[in-house]
Structure 1
Amino acid sequence: MRTIRKVHKAEYRPIADLITYSPMPTRSLRMIDPFLFLNHHGPQKYLPNNNGLPFGPHPHRGMETVTFILEGDIAHKDSGGNKSVIEGGGVQWMTAGSGLIHSEVSSEEFKKQGGPLEILQLWVNLPAKLKMTEPKYKGLKKEEIPQTTFDNGKVSAQVISGKLQNEEGAFETLTKIHLSTLFLKSGGVLETKVPLDHNILCYIIKGEIKINGEIIPALHLIEFNNDQEELRLEALSESTVLFGHAKPFNEPVVARGPFVMNTMEEIDQAYKDYEQGKMGDPYQ
């Protein structure tokens, strides 16, 4: 079985009244190439007449954002003219590429009614040759995302991108990123294979998982060695796991604020382009 290099605890970083845990980057882990950043918002319950999510218009360049709405909703709007409201179980995939301004806030209904909220946002890097690709966005509802089961139904998976066993994911990717959300009943086991040259992203959202005899509780991210293809996850309680893998780009990563490029000069240019309005109008 593939062995564990280190288990990293998510750091608590609230944003206003939004409960937020950051599994990556932290003081102990910069990134798992090509996965750059992961924030876990919630779980929490919003009262009626709340302010909702605080992520108003802001730019990105050089990377992709993948947003998993576990509970609650997100109203997305961007400078490419895309709009959507995606509810619990849905996923948004935005390729910022050459530059895009977007907002991710709560719907008017959620702000009025309130309710439970839990969301993960993952940043995925783009290689140098694709940094300035054309921006795009796609949001899918829960019922539009393929699901598959394992271990006699004790494990179910939403296959977001790439492939899990023989199930193809809902999103086509530029860089062959494999992502799934796993839901494991107590005692459920997932056995799968990951290519040796792929880095694994494995974050325990809820519950408790055993890997190679090591027990890993919720709000921890596992960093693996690249030594075996076989991987086995066993749930010790009802659990939810973000699981993915991809081949690393092995390129320089320079990240400043919302931009992720290969050099500081490219970061400076991104800020200039944003200030000059070259990333579009977020309010169109």
Structure 2
Amino acid sequence: MRTIKQQHRAVNAPIADLTTYRALPTNSVEYIDPFLFLNHHGPQVYRPHNRGLPFGPHPHRGFETVTFILEGDILHKDSSGHESVIEAGGIQWMTAGSGLIHAEVSSDNFKANGGPLEILQLWVNLPAKDKMTAPRYIGLQKDEIPAVTLAGGVVIHAVSGEWAGTAGAVQPLADVALAWLELPAGSQVTLPIAAARSIFFYTVRGSLRVNGAETQALQLVEFNYDGDELTLAAHEASVVLLGHARPFGEPVVSAGPFVMNTDAEIQQAYRDYQQGAFGSWKG
């Protein structure tokens, strides 16, 4: 089994009236190549006639955002012409690539009626060769994502990569496997993950034992590269965000909404954005 290098507690980082915990980066961990950033929004309940999510138009270049909507919804709109409302159980996979402007807000229905909200947004790096690829967007509802049920009632929602012999819904540019797992109380599952691959393991809800160590909600588990199995045993009903990928091993230079390989590329990103190369925003 993989050994654990360290566990990292997500930090409380509210955004306006949105409850937010940032699991990556924190003072104890910068990134887990190629996984760069994770914000955990909620859980919370919005009242009727609310303002919804606060993420108005903003640019990105050089990486991908993968958003998991556990409760509530997100209205996505971007300067490449994509627009959709994804509801609970769905995901959004946006490849910023060479650059675009997007907004992530709540639907008119959610703002009018309110309700529970819990959302995870993960930033995944792009290798240097793909950083200037054309932007793309994939929005999938819950029933468009394969759900694999294993012994004990463990459910794997296969977003990308292969999980228990089932291909995920998205074929990403890089070899990145992503899923979220629902584990009933008392359930156990063992998953093979090659020792050379980085593991991203974040407990969203509940408490469990992973490879002999106790972990719980709002904990990011960082693993060494010394084993090829993960064994999870849930003490209570739990939800885990799990990913794995071969590290890129490239320089990571980030500034605000851009992630590139050099300072010069960051400065170019700012110039390109200011000069309108990311497209125009139509509200």
When the two structures are superposed, what TM-score results if normalisation uses the length of structure 1? 0.99
Q: Which amino acid aligns with 1:168?
A: A
1:96/1:136 contact within 8 Å kept:
yes
Q: Which amino acid aligns with 1:247?
A: R
Residue 280 of structure 1: aligned partner: 279
Residue 27 of structure 2: aligned partner: 27
Residue 50 of structure 2: aligned partner: 50
**Identity of matched residues, %:** 58
Distance 1:112 1:261 in 2: 39
Q: Which amino acid aligns with 1:240?
A: V
Residue 171 of structure 1: aligned partner: 170
2:158/2:169 contact within 8 Å kept:
yes
Residue 245 of structure 1: aligned partner: 244
- 1:220 lines up with 2:219 in the alignment: yes
Match of 1:209, SS state, is strand
In structure 1, the gaps of 5 or more residues are: none
Residue 9 of structure 1: aligned partner: 9
Distance 1:188 1:247 in 2: 28
1:77/1:282 contact within 8 Å kept:
no
Question: How much does 1:6 deviate?
Answer: 0.3
Match of 1:30, SS state, is coil
Q: Deviations over 1:250-271 (max 9, x none)?
A: 0000000000000000000000
Question: How much does 1:74 deviate?
Answer: 0.2
Residue 231 of structure 2: aligned partner: 232
Match of 2:272, SS state, is helix
Question: How much does 1:149 deviate?
Answer: 1.2
How many residues are paired up?
A: 283
Distance 2:230 2:119 in 1: 26
Distance 1:124 1:38 in 2: 9
Question: How much does 1:196 deviate?
Answer: 1.2
Q: Deviations over 1:211-234 (max 9, x none)?
A: 233210100000001101011011
1:160/1:178 contact within 8 Å kept:
yes
Distance 1:246 1:112 in 2: 40
Residue 149 of structure 1: aligned partner: 149
Q: Which amino acid aligns with 1:167?
A: T
- Report 1:1-284 matches (<5 A): 1-152=1-152, 154-283=153-282
Match of 2:171, SS state, is coil
When the two structures are superposed, what TM-score results if normalisation uses the length of structure 2? 0.99
2:76/2:83 contact within 8 Å kept:
yes
Distance 2:179 2:208 in 1: 16
Distance 1:270 1:79 in 2: 16
Distance 1:78 1:230 in 2: 39
Q: Deviations over 1:18-60 (max 9, x none)?
A: 0000000000000000000000000000000000000000000
Q: Which amino acid aligns with 1:238?
A: A
Q: Which amino acid aligns with 2:94?
A: M
Q: Deviations over 1:152-194 (max 9, x none)?
A: 4x20010000011201000011001000110000011120110
Structure 1 moving runs of 4+ over 6 Å: none
Quote the RMSD (CA, aligned, Å): 0.7
2:148/2:164 contact within 8 Å kept:
no
Q: Which amino acid aligns with 2:183?
A: L
Question: How much does 1:3 deviate?
Answer: 0.8
Distance 1:257 1:276 in 2: 18
Question: How much does 1:82 deviate?
Answer: 0.2
Distance 1:150 1:228 in 2: 22
Distance 2:47 2:230 in 1: 41
